[in-house]
Amino acid sequence: MQTPITSLSTGTVARITALLGQGCSFQRKLRTMGIREGKMLKIVAIHPFSGPLVLDIEGREITLGRSIAQRIMVRVEDCCESS
Instruction: Give pTM, 2 decimals.
Output: 0.85
CATH number for the 3-78 domain, one of 3.50.50.60, 2.30.30.90, 2.60.40.10, 3.40.50.720? 2.30.30.90
Q: Where are the domains of the chain?
A: 3-78
pLDDT by 10s per residue, the chain, length 83 = 899 999 999 999 999 999 997 778 888 899 999 999 999 999 999 999 989 999 999 999 999 999 999 999 999 977 554 44
Compute φ and ψ for 4, nearest 5 degrees. Answer: -70, 150
- CB 27 within 8 Å of CB 21: yes
Name the β-bridge partners of 50. none
Q: How far, in Å, CA of 81 to CA of 72, rounded?
A: 20
Could you give the C-alpha distances from 11 to 26, 31, 45, 76, in angstroms and in order? 26, 23, 8, 11
